[in-house]
Amino acid sequence: MIIQRVVLNSRPGKNGVPVAENFRLEQSTIADTIQAGQVRVRTLYLSVDPYMRCRMNEDTGSDYLLPWQLSEVADGGGIGIVEESKQDNLAKGDFVTSFNWPWQTVAILDGSVLQKLAVQLVNGRLSYFLGAAGITGLTALLGVREKGHVAVGANQTMVVSGAAGACGSLAGQIGRLEGCSRVVGIAGTDEKCSILVQEMGFDAAINYKKGNVAERLRELCPGGVDVYFDNVGGDISDTVISQMNQNSHIILCGQISQYNKDVPYPPPLPPDIEKIREERNITRERFLVLNYMDKQEASVLQLCQWIQEGKLKVRETVVEGLANIGAAFQSMMNGGNIGKQIVSVAK
């Protein structure tokens, strides 16, 4: 069977900026028949995410992420529909997902690693299982619960950097749902800031490209910062940390400003900021959602309930066509999208 697939065409280098041309669309073939335990699936949606930047390097810097190989098909979160099955619990027409879905139009996969999806849980919005009801939502929810130490009635203020992104836009809303009394986002355009406040219920948002972030934080968080959901690292995070309270908490989710630099993960803080962190007993621990998979099912059901009730607002940026996945990745890394970046593959 003839298919289309996207392979890693070139590496940007550890300190390079990814571009669409790092990926290549090509024609390939898969077997016409499947074996016992296998399913043939047609790809519907693929996810592009910041962590994938690490997979473009020969060494990902992580023990749980494998690097993409040159001229080999890339992979990540994906959703498809079963066309043929020799796996007992999957049938033709079932919607399925995997964290390691190949970037190709049709694939033959091991049925035992696929998760069957119940579309009614997300009001028919299948792509939500790659975002708000998938690994992105889990990262936001579990991050807040496991590392944020949010308590109802504690009058806590949360700040979220990268707040208009896939994870940040959910994290701020979840912080509020879990009990934070004030939520402030940091984003890169006036449009994003407006959406955070008017649509997603943030109390305020700061455009870090305009004005003085430190001054705005002092105005908007007069009692200091108790919980910081950190998606970006770098100067913005240093500014937030300097205004955090005693015994406060950093949820170390991502460091997108550092992904094109050859630094360890998590990147060390500057000495003066590290001194503040230590003196104020601010927690800053590496957070991996994969370490909490025993809480996955209950957490996904909670996310779906909030979506159904309209308590969790979801934004997606959908790009049509497998051929455009490289451009979608480049745009996502440049902060050009609002919410989750999804590629719709099926015609």
- Could you tell me the residue range of the domain that residue 286 belongs to? 135-290
286 lies in the same domain as 144: yes
Place of tokens 């995997």: 98
Predicted pLDDT at 283: 96
Is 50 exceeded by the pLDDT of residue 190?
Answer: yes
154 lies in the same domain as 242: yes
Within-domain flag for 335: yes
Within-domain flag for 193: yes
146 lies in the same domain as 124: no
88 lies in the same domain as 15: yes
Within-domain flag for 300: no
Predicted pLDDT at 258: 46
How far apart, in whole angstroms, are the C-alpha atoms of residue 252 and residue 250? 6
Predicted pLDDT at 264: 55
The tens digit of pLDDT for each residue in 7-56 reads 999 999 888 889 999 999 999 999 999 999 999 999 999 999 988 988 99
Contact partners, residue 245, CB within 8 Å, separation at least 6: 223, 224, 225, 226, 280
Read off the CATH number of the domain in which 21 is found: 3.90.180.10
How far apart, in whole angstroms, are the C-alpha atoms of residue 318 and residue 296? 25
221 lies in the same domain as 157: yes
Read off the CATH number of the domain in which 274 is found: 3.40.50.720
7 lies in the same domain as 107: yes
Within-domain flag for 244: yes
Of 47-51, 59-63, 123-127, which range is least confident?
59-63
Total domains, the chain? 2
How far apart, in whole angstroms, are the C-alpha atoms of residue 153 and residue 163? 24
The tens digit of pLDDT for each residue in 81-122 reads 999 999 999 999 999 999 999 999 999 999 999 999 999 999
7 lies in the same domain as 72: yes
Of 274, 290, 306, the residue at which a domain comes to its end is: 290
280 burial level (CB within 10 Å; 0-12, 13-18, 19+) = middle
Within-domain flag for 198: yes
What's the sign of the alpha-carbon dihedral 186, 190, 191, 195? positive
Is 80 exceeded by the pLDDT of residue 261?
Answer: no
